[in-house]
């Protein structure tokens, strides 16, 4: 089949050349009028001949090249669609991660969404002075309360703390030291100069995200198994 195609192309190219040569022997005016057409015909015949020759010679390779071209075309199309809808896809990904990773915050504009943990509490992943600190939402705590270890990780001045505030914990009454935290961030919400307490070493098991942070927000609510924190625009 490829050999017959090759002979057909050769004959077609030869016929085109004959037409061009014959037309050049006509009268000068007709030759002038048809010169551009003859040139175009010769070019078309040459392209068809070379293209057919390549097709006949590299037919298998050409089919593989077309398959590869189609594959990468689909990949490029998927990439373009993903880039076009990147914000929507990021939001969907955040919602999935919220369900899979306890305490992870998904930010949608000025709203942060956190899923309830298996224990029934709301674990909250925060950044305290840029240190990653795991907390638990505690609406009964009047203040943010940090363990001694978390306060150290956040770079608070432990050596000058004054444990002068009485607090009630699961282990009973103890004392804590008042501090002011430069920044506390939950997802895309950040509050600065937040009053907090630092518990004595060994007196607190979990860091508490209390009302001195929550009162800074425009609103917060528990809706089903989701905690919604809304910051000011």
Tokens encoding 213: 């942070």
Beta strands across the sheet bearing 226-230:
106-108, 111-115, 226-230, 219-223
Class of the domain covering 103-230: mainly beta
Predicted pLDDT at 172: 67
Q: By the 8 A CB rule, do 143 and 196 touch?
A: yes
Q: Tens digit of pLDDT per residue, the chain (233 long)?
A: 445 555 555 555 555 555 545 554 444 444 444 455 556 555 665 665 566 555 556 666 666 766 766 777 777 777 777 777 666 656 666 666 556 666 678 888 899 999 888 888 999 999 999 899 999 999 988 999 999 999 999 999 999 999 999 887 655 678 899 999 999 999 899 999 999 999 999 888 899 999 999 999 999 999 888 899 999 98
- The predicted model scores a pTM of 0.60
Tokens encoding 91: 């939001």
Q: By the 8 A CB rule, do 20 and 41 touch?
A: yes
Tokens encoding 36: 């551009």
221: helix, coil or strand? strand
Q: Which residues pair with 166 in a beta bridge?
A: 175
Tokens encoding 46: 């040459």
The CA-atom distances, in angstroms, between 42 and each of 6, 33, 36, 38, 55 are: 18, 16, 10, 6, 20
Spatial separation of the C-alpha atoms in residues 201 and 199, rounded to whole Å: 6
Q: Where are the domains of the chain?
A: 2-84, 103-230
């Amino acid at each position: 089949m490829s050999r017959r195609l090759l002979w057909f192309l050769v004959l077609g190219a030869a016929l085109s050349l004959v037409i061009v040569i014959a037309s050049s022997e006509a009268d000068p005016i007709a030759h002038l009028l048809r010169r551009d057409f003859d040139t175009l015909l010769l070019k078309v015949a040459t392209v068809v001949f070379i293209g057919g020759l390549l097709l006949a010679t590299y037919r298998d390779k050409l089919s593989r090249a077309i398959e590869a071209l189609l594959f990468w075309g689909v990949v490029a199309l998927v990439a373009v669609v993903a880039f076009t809808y990147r914000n929507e896809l990021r939001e969907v990904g955040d919602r999935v991660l919220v369900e899979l990773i306890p305490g992870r915050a998904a930010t949608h504009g000025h709203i942060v969404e956190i899923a309830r943990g298996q224990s029934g509490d709301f674990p909250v992943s925060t950044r305290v002075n840029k240190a990653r600190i795991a907390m638990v939402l505690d609406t009964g705590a009047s203040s943010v309360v940090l363990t001694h270890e978390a306060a150290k990780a956040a770079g608070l001045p432990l050596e000058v703390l004054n444990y002068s505030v009485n607090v009630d914990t699961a282990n009973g009454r103890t004392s804590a030291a008042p501090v002011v935290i430069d920044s506390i961030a939950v997802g895309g919400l950040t509050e600065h100069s937040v009053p907090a307490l630092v518990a004595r070493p060994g007196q607190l098991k979990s860091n508490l995200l209390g009302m001195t942070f929550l009162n800074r927000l425009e609103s917060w609510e528990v809706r089903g198994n989701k905690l919604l924190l809304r910051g000011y625009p």
